[in-house]
Chains A and B, each alone.
Chain A
Amino acid sequence: MAVMSDTALQAAPATKARGYWATVGRRIRRDKVAMACAVVLTLIFLSALFAPWLGLADPYQGSMIRRLRHIGTPNYPLGTDELGRDMLARLIYGGRLSLIIGILPVIFAFIIGTSLGLVAGYVGGKLNTAIMRTVDVFYAFPSVLLAIAISGALGAGIVNSIVSLTIVFVPQITRVAESVTTGVRNMDFVEAARASGAGPFTIMRVHMLGNVLGPIFVYATGLISVSMILAAGLSFLGLGTKPPEPEWGLMLNTLRTAIYVNPWVAALPGVMIFAVSICFNLLSDGMRSAMDIRN
Chain B
Amino acid sequence: MLAYIARRIVYVIPIVLSVALVCFLLVHITPGDPLVAVLPADASQELAAQMRAAYGFDRPLPVQFGLWLWRALHGDLGNSIATGRPVLAEVLRAVSNTVTLAIAAALIGFTLGLLFGLIAGYFRDTWVDKVATSIAIAGVSVPHYWLGMVMVIIFSVQLNWLPAVGAGPGGSGSWGWDWEHMKYLILPAITTSVIPMGIVTRTVRALTGDILSQDFVEALRAKGLRELDVFRHVIKNAAPTALAVMGLQLGYMLGGSILIETVFSWPGSGLLLNSAIFQRDLPLLQGTILVLALFFVTLNLLVDIAQASIDPRIKRG
Contact = CB atoms under 8 A, between A and B. Distances in A.
A239 interface: yes
Given A140-B15, A142-B251, A260-B157, A274 B142 contact: yes
Interface stretch (A16-24, A78-86, A204-212, A228-236): A228-236
Interface residues of A, number: 43
A279 to B, nearest CB: 8
A152 interface: yes
Contact of B149 (A239, A267, A282): A267
A256 B156 CA distance: 14
Contacts of B255: 141-142, 144-145
B277 interface: yes
B296 A141 contact: yes
B225 interface: no
Contacts of A229: 141, 143-144
B88 to A, nearest CB: 18
B145 A233 contact: yes
A153 B285 contact: yes
A268 to B, nearest CB: 10
A148 to B, nearest CB: 6
B138 interface: yes
Given A267-B146, A281-B141, A140 B296 contact: yes
Interface in A280-295: 281-282, 285, 295
B19 to A, nearest CB: 5
A127 interface: no
B87 interface: no
Interface residues of B, number: 49
Contacts of B146: 252, 267, 269-270, 273-274
A101 B292 CA distance: 26
B141 A277 contact: yes
Contacts, number: 129
A238 interface: yes
Interface string A220-258: 000001001100110011110000000000001000100
B259 interface: yes
A154 interface: yes
Given A137-B15, A145-B289, A282 B137 contact: yes
A270 B149 CA distance: 9
Contact of A239 (B254, B263, B277): B277
B145 A145 contact: no
Interface class of chain A by DSSP: helix
A266 interface: yes
A270 B143 contact: yes
A148 B140 contact: no
Given A137-B19, A154-B31, A229-B143, A270 B256 contact: no
A225 B252 CA distance: 17
Nearest to B12: A140
A129 to B, nearest CB: 12
Given A237-B274, A263-B153, A148 B258 contact: yes
A213 to B, nearest CB: 23
B27 A141 contact: no
A155 interface: yes
B297 interface: yes
A191 interface: no
Contact of A238 (B140, B278, B289): B278
A151 B149 CA distance: 23
Contacts of A273: 143, 146
B273 A152 contact: yes
B285 to A, nearest CB: 6
A281 B143 CA distance: 13
B161 to A, nearest CB: 15
Interface of A: 133, 136-137, 140-145, 148-150, 152-155, 225, 228-229, 232-233, 236-239, 252, 256, 259-260, 263-264, 266-267, 269-270, 273-274, 277-278, 281-282, 285, 295
15 contacts: A133-B14, A140-B15, A141-B19, A141-B255, A141-B289, A142-B255, A143-B252, A145-B258, A150-B26, A150-B29, A155-B31, A229-B141, A233-B145, A259-B152, A270-B146
Interface of B: 14-15, 18-19, 22-23, 26-27, 29-31, 137-138, 140-147, 149-150, 152-153, 157-158, 206, 251-252, 254-256, 258-259, 262-263, 273-274, 276-278, 285, 289, 292-293, 296-297, 300
Given A144-B256, A154-B29, A237-B274, 9 more contacts: A137-B19, A140-B18, A141-B19, A154-B31, A252-B149, A277-B141, A277-B142, A278-B142, A282-B137
Q: Which 9 A-B pairs have the closest CB atoms?
A: A270-B146, A144-B256, A142-B255, A278-B141, A152-B277, A263-B153, A137-B18, A145-B255, A277-B141
